[in-house]
């Protein structure tokens, strides 16, 4: 079952990027592990492959053996994702995304810096696979959330996902309360 962050990413792909199919926690036959979210836009022949990390208090903070493990872990995840997409979506344009609402930046020279980790991940994937990892982090994450709110506000029929229905209720209620005040 997807978590809330994965559902936000998937709903963004479905409602904003107009994907025809969205799959959560896709188990791949070729390699061990799963891909958090995959969206397919058939008309444009686009496949979106997303890893989602919704660590709130700590920010983007994977740990192995008591030490931060963002770079190694996410490069392994995307390495698997890229190989999967290249094998099964040969004729599609592939867009790889990292979704994380909070990625912290520390002062210059700090031993651990999540923003520096993300840049290292992005650069490594670019050098190794010639891809441009799209970062849906911090302010960009909020922008995408606002785009989902805008979709929810515009739709009059019930949207059949929990998060989108929540956003729809929230937006319609705010609109109504504003009108009656």
pLDDT score for 156? 82
CA gap 94, 159 in Å, rounded:
27
Residue ranges of the chain whose pLDDT lies below 70? 1, 30-31, 109-110
pLDDT tens readout for residues 50-102: 999 998 888 788 888 877 788 899 999 999 999 999 999 999 999 999 999 99
Q: What pTM did the predictor assign?
A: 0.91
- pLDDT at position 100 is 96
pLDDT at residue number 128:
96
pLDDT of residue 23: 96
């Amino acid at each position: 079952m997807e978590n809330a962050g994965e559902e936000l990413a998937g709903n963004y792909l479905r409602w904003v990027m107009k994907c025809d199919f969205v799959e959560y926690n896709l188990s791949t036959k070729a390699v061990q592990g799963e891909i958090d979210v995959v969206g397919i836009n058939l008309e444009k022949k686009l496949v979106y492959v997303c890893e989602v990390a919704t660590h709130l208090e700590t920010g983007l903070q994977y740990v192995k053996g008591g030490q931060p493990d963002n770079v190694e872990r996410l490069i392994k995840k995307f390495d698997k994702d890229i190989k999967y997409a290249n094998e099964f979506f040969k004729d599609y344009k592939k867009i790889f995304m990292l979704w994380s609402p909070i990625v912290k930046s520390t002062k210059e020279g700090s031993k651990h810096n999540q923003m520096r980790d993300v840049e290292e991940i992005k650069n490594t994937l670019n050098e190794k696979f010639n891809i441009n990892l799209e970062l849906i982090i911090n302010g960009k994450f909020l922008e995408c959330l606002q785009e989902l709110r805008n979709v929810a506000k515009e739709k009059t029929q019930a949207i059949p996902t929990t998060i989108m229905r929540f956003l729809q209720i929230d937006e319609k209620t705010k609109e109504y309360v504003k009108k009656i005040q």
